[in-house]
């Protein structure tokens, strides 16, 4: 059976090279797209057997495309094909419905075998990432839930929360960061909402506890 593949990757040379490799192995790349949003439209229109998706892309990254594919009701396998060996990327991909997480430096024949396994219903992770996967999968095969409300904070919100934890006022934070009091207030409001607390004191306490937990994990 000829597999119909949609390839979404912003690197043109990689796409062209992969198309050629797959064509020689009886795999039909029905569309090769360099933009995540255009890729979403192609998935809806062409209904490929499998989507090969890059992780790092401008505008909307691979996880964003993956989430939108699943939200739109696309049920065929989606495979991350990436250079990233980051644990967080792997976990987020699997948690959001990817059936594969493969690395771009794998042998072409290994890639083809992996794609056929995935289409047959298996979840395939690059062998190099097996130790990473073992750390985040429970005995019953489900992913450990390591998500934290702190993951929702932007870098600027994280910075302001750290200063809150030091007991700094909005005025001092504004002066230290070179922004207005009003901007600090907006960030604080967003921080409280994302952490699910009602006061800056509660947020500061959570930040201190999170810091202590991180220190303990780093020491263990």
Helix, strand, coil % over all residues of the chain, rounded to 5: 55, 15, 30
State the pTM of this model: 0.62
3-136 belongs to CATH 3.40.50.720: no
pLDDT tens digit sequence for 118-167: 999 888 888 888 777 766 554 444 554 555 678 788 889 999 999 998 88
Which residues of the chain form CATH 1.10.10.10?
Answer: 149-219
**Has residue 173 got a pLDDT over 80?**
yes
Cα 192 from Cα 187, distance rounded (Å) = 9
pLDDT tens digit sequence for 60-101: 899 999 999 999 999 999 999 999 888 888 888 888 889 999
Cα 207 from Cα 134, distance rounded (Å) = 29
Which residues of the chain form CATH 3.40.50.2300?
Answer: 3-136
Q: Find residue 6's DSSP bridge partners.
A: 31, 51
Quick one: DSSP state of residue 142? Answer: P
* The pLDDT value given to residue 160: 93
Structure tokens at 204: 């500061």
CATH class entry, domain 149-219: mainly alpha
Quick one: DSSP state of residue 58? Answer: S
pLDDT tens digit sequence for 27-38: 999 999 999 999
């Amino acid at each position: 059976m000829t597999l119909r593949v949609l390839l979404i990757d912003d690197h043109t040379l990689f796409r062209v090279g992969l198309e050629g490799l797959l064509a020689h192995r009886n795999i039909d790349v029905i569309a090769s797209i360099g933009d995540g949003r255009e890729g979403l439209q192609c998935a809806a229109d062409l209904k490929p057997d499998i989507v090969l998706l890059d992780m790092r892309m401008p505008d909307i990254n691979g996880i964003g495309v993956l989430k939108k594919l699943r939200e739109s009701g696309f049920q065929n396998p989606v495979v991350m094909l990436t250079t990233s060996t980051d644990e967080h990327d792997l976990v987020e991909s699997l948690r959001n419905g990817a059936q594969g997480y493969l690395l771009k430096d794998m042998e072409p024949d290994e890639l083809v075998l992996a794609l056929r396994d995935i289409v047959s219903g298996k979840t395939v992770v690059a062998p190099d990432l097996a130790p990473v996967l073992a750390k985040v999968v429970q005995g019953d095969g489900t992913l450990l839930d390591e998500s934290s409300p702190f993951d929702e904070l932007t870098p600027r919100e994280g910075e302001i929360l750290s200063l809150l934890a030091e007991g700094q006022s909005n005025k001092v934070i504004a002066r230290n960061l070179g922004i207005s009091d009003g901007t600090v207030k907006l960030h604080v409001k967003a921080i409280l909402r994302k952490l699910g607390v009602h006061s800056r004191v509660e947020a500061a306490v959570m930040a201190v506890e999170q810091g202590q937990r991180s220190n303990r994990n780093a020491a263990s």
